[in-house]
Amino acid sequence: MQQPIISTRQLRKIYIMGATQVNALQSVDIDINKNEYVALMGPSGSGKSTLMNLLGCLDSPSSGEYWLNGTNVSTMTDGDLAEVRNKEIGFVFQTFNLLPRLSALENVALPLVYAGFSKHDRLERAREVMAAVGLGDRVDHKPNELSGGQRQRVAIARALVNNPSIILADEPTGNLDTKTSHEIMGIFEEIHQQGNTIILVTHEADIALHAHRIVRLRDGLVETDTRNENIVSLLNPA
Amino acid sequence: MRIILRTIRESIAQAFGQLRANKLRSFLSLLGISIGIFCIIGVLSAVDSLEDNVRGSLEKLGNDIIYVKKWPWADLSDSWWDYLKRPNPDHSDYEVIKEKSRFASLTAFHVVIGFKTLKYKSNSVENAVLIGCSDNFSEMFKLEYDQGRYFSPVEYHYGSPKAILGYKVMEELFGSLDPIGKTIKLSGRNYEVIGVIEKAGKDLLNPLDFDECILVSYPNARTLANLKANQIFDTSVTVKAASGVPLEQMKDEVKGIVRSHHRLRPRETDDFSLNELSMISSFFDSFFNILNLLGIVIGAFAMLVGGVSVANIMFVSVKERTNIIGVKKALGAKRYIILMEFLIESIMLCIIGGLIGLLLVHFITKILTAAIDFDLYLDAGNIILGLVCSISIGVIAGFIPAVQASKLDPVVAMRQGS
């Protein structure tokens, strides 16, 4: 059996707000294999954002273990976590989070700056990825010159540019209309087919149906973890 | 290492981007730095220029010349009355020193007799300073002649009624006429003008300003006034050290010669003063030190204000870009990268401010130099000092905001303002 790319054991996160403790995550055990397409669902307050932050190495757990690609990242320092985020994780956010002053190409190349690539290599790689998400002709546009769907595609290109182990998408269609949402989900399906591991955080059931496995959280615990029997595929419509 | 260099380069480019994007705000915040640098470097440059000028003027007195005089130039430690009772050094002192000193290369004597009125036809000049000079006076003070020459040995020996005029005296008396060979009247006697001394420079201090003088030979001056009896005249014997002879050594020698000539007993104090340039320059040293200190204090306060305004703008900048900082951290930017980014931005801001201040100083010195005909300049040392100050202020002002930015939690930061 292959080693899971993500493996958490009794992952727990407690926020201390003044005198009260908030158990955002009680104890989560989850394994995700390479090339899985997982949707993380749950109502607000279920702890899915907390889990997403922990899986994305943006935050450290209060207790428990998190193994990412064979290394225990739950005890890492701030600087090491930054490096892990840079090399292993591609983020796609609901609000795109592109840098407004940089061109689309420079935005895509940004993670490579922190990885220490030369300018030439950076831009070349960024161009490749831009072309892969269908924005080869928009490289020099600033984010505010692009539509919402195009911006999200730039963000996806940025997530892909450093060949990460996992792609974490946090409500990637939350700010988009239905038609554009479908476009974006199509791209996710494509990159999944190319062998990427995708974790999709969403509260929309129809979006979650694109994934192959659905994990539901409630009150900081995994409620259900099931295979998706009716995958909605945009590439091979049923 | 390559990553750090690359980060620095990227940060500089980014800092310029920020400056361009917020032109007015950046300009306002670096104005404080500009004013600070302008104050500090302006004052230091002015003092440097002044100091050079004054020192240059004082050099004319000669580093290697001792002035034997009744009054000391500085350090009046004995009572004023004791000084007053002293005799004036006279021509016999000059002769003795000239004869006996082995270390002196040149000895001269001059007596300032006082203000006289000169007449040429219907023109007259009042308050021309009459000076009686020994034969090598011209050599001693390296006099340059606009026209004519110094007294010839024969003229000197016989005390011929010949005179040399200062430039201003000549101008007022003759206007555009050629003065050489003309006869002027001094105290009812006729004198022939044989030379005109070159105009003095426009220095602030002119210790040897002959512009308003009339020089006559000492033998002739003796016939104009009773120099022996009158204590009011200001007389000096000037002794120039031979090359390679330390001034102190010659000073000791001259002291011995004059003391024995005045027949002073060993325990008696000197009845003359040996003055030298360093006595005056040490006074000016402390004066310029005070001016410099003043400039530094004023400038430091201005820089403080400038630094506070830059720190403020950096705090605003961090606040405004919190979301972007969060995104960058999420994408893998380490703390030091964010820290460096903001620190470099702050430093760039201060360097630009400093450069504006330096430019301001440069232009003002140029304008003043042209306007008041006095050489003011901004030298390389002060430019470097100004830049070093700017960079330091940039580091100090940017440090806390930069640390604040680098410590932001990416999750919290990204949530803000997006």
Question: Is B324 close to A53, i.e. CB distance below 8 A?
Answer: no
Q: How many CB atoms lie within 10 A of CB A232?
A: 16
**Residue A176 resides in a domain:** yes
**Residue A11 resides in a domain:** no
pLDDT of the residue at B248: 87
Same domain, B189 and B105: yes
Least confident of A79-88, A218-227, B22-31: B22-31
Residues from chain A contacting residue B6 (CB–CB below 8 Å): 113, 116
Q: pLDDT tens-digit profile of B291-313?
A: 888 888 888 888 888 899 889 88
Distance CA B378, CA B376 (A): 7
Closest partner CB to A78 (pick from B17, B326, B335): B335
The answer to whether residues B220 and B132 touch, using CB atoms and an 8 Å cutoff, is: yes
Q: Is the pLDDT of residue A185 over 60?
A: yes
Residues from chain A contacting residue B7 (CB–CB below 8 Å): 113
Q: What is the mean pLDDT of residues A78-90?
A: 92
Tell me the pLDDT band of B18, cut-offs 50, 70 and 90. confident
Distance CA B416, CA B409 (A): 11
Question: Is A78 close to B330, i.e. CB distance below 8 A?
Answer: no
pLDDT of the residue at B2: 67
Q: What is the DSSP letter of A39?
A: E
Q: Is the pLDDT of residue A229 over 80?
A: yes
Q: What is the mean pLDDT of residues A38-57?
A: 91
Q: pLDDT tens-digit profile of B224-259?
A: 877 776 567 888 889 998 888 888 889 899 999 999
Single out the residue in B220, B247, B271 at which a domain terminates: B271
The answer to whether residues B399 and B315 touch, using CB atoms and an 8 Å cutoff, is: no
Distance CA A142, CA A126 (A): 15
Q: pLDDT tens-digit profile of B375-409?
A: 788 889 989 999 999 999 999 999 999 999 999 99
Mean pLDDT of chain A: 91
Same domain, B258 and B296: no
Sign of CA dihedral B111, B114, B115, B117: negative
Nearest CA to CA, how far is B34 from chain A (Å)? 28
Q: What is the mean pLDDT of residues B199-219?
A: 78
Q: Is the pLDDT of residue B418 over 60?
A: no
In the numeric block, which tokens belong to residue B341? 């980014």
Closest partner CB to A95 (pick from B21, B410, B418): B418
The answer to whether residues A57 and A89 touch, using CB atoms and an 8 Å cutoff, is: yes
The answer to whether residues B163 and B186 touch, using CB atoms and an 8 Å cutoff, is: yes
Q: Name the domain count of chain B.
A: 2
Q: Which residue of A has its CA nearest to B337?
A: A114
Q: pLDDT tens-digit profile of B53-75?
A: 887 777 777 778 888 888 888 76
Question: In A, what residues contact B, Cβ < 8 A?
Answer: 53, 56, 58-59, 78-79, 82-83, 85-87, 91, 93, 95, 97-99, 101, 110-111, 113-116, 158, 162
**Residue B327 resides in a domain:** yes
In the numeric block, which tokens belong to residue A153? 């595609």
Q: Which residue of B has its CA nearest to A111?
A: B331
Residues from chain A contacting residue B3 (CB–CB below 8 Å): 116
Provide CB contacts within 8 A for B19, sequence distance 6+.
B26, B348, B349, B352
DSSP string covering B247-286, please? HHHHHHHHHHHHHHHTT--TTSPPSSEEE-HHHHHHHHHH
pLDDT higher at B204 or B248: B248
Distance CA B237, CA B67 (A): 6
Long-range CB contacts for residues B76-83, cutoff 8 Å, separation at least 24: B78/B269, B82/B269
Secondary element (H or E) of residue A180 = helix A178-193
Least confident of A61-65, A115-119, A209-213, B57-61: B57-61
**Count of alpha carbons within 13 Å of B155, Cβ hemisphere only?**
17
Distance CA A87, CA A110 (A): 12
pLDDT of the residue at A146: 93
Domain of residue B31, residue span: 2-57+282-415
Residues from chain A contacting residue B331 (CB–CB below 8 Å): 85-86, 91, 110-111, 114, 158
**Residue A24 resides in a domain:** no
Q: pLDDT tens-digit profile of B317-333?
A: 899 889 999 999 999 99
Distance CA A198, CA B47 (A): 70
Sign of CA dihedral B288, B293, B298, B304: positive
pLDDT of the residue at B331: 92
For the whole model, what pTM was predicted? 0.74
Same domain, B247 and B127: yes
Same domain, B257 and B292: no
pLDDT of the residue at B203: 63
Same domain, B139 and B211: yes
Residues from chain B contacting residue A17 (CB–CB below 8 Å): none
Q: What is the mean pLDDT of residues B129-156?
A: 89
Question: Is B332 close to A101, i.e. CB distance below 8 A?
Answer: no
Cβ of B293 under 8 Å from any chain A Cβ?
no
Least confident of A28-37, B136-145, B185-194: B136-145
Q: What is the mean pLDDT of residues B84-96?
A: 86
pLDDT of the residue at A1: 53
Same domain, B125 and B237: yes
CATH of the domain at A145: 3.40.50.300
Q: What is the mean pLDDT of residues A160-176?
A: 92
Same domain, B34 and B104: no
Question: Is B327 close to A97, i.e. CB distance below 8 A?
Answer: yes
Pairing of strands B145-148, B183-186: unpaired
Q: Name the domain count of chain A.
A: 1
pLDDT of the residue at B205: 64
Nearest CA to CA, how far is B418 from chain A (Å)? 7
pLDDT of the residue at B91: 86
Mean pLDDT of chain B: 86
Secondary element (H or E) of residue A40 = strand A37-41
Q: How many residues does chain B have?
A: 418
Domain of residue A194, residue span: 35-59+77-227
**Residue A13 resides in a domain:** no
**Residue A16 resides in a domain:** no
Pairing of strands A71-72, A63-68: antiparallel
Q: Is the pLDDT of residue B133 over 70?
A: yes
Distance CA B248, CA B63 (A): 12
Closest partner CB to A58 (pick from B17, B330, B333): B330
Tell me the pLDDT band of A143, cut-offs 50, 70 and 90. very high
DSSP string covering B304-348, please? HHHHHHHHHHHHHHHHHTHHHHHHHHHTT--HHHHHHHHHHHHHH
Single out the residue in B271, B303, B321 at which a domain terminates: B271
Out of B70-84, B145-159, B267-281, B289-303, give the one with best mean pLDDT.
B145-159
pLDDT of the residue at B229: 60
Nearest CA to CA, how far is B307 from chain A (Å)? 27
DSSP string covering B388-418, please? HHHHHHHHHHHHHHHHHHHT--HHHHHHTT-
Least confident of B114-118, B200-204, B212-216, B358-362: B200-204
pLDDT of the residue at B266: 87
pLDDT of the residue at B78: 64
Same domain, B184 and B264: yes
**Residue A235 resides in a domain:** no
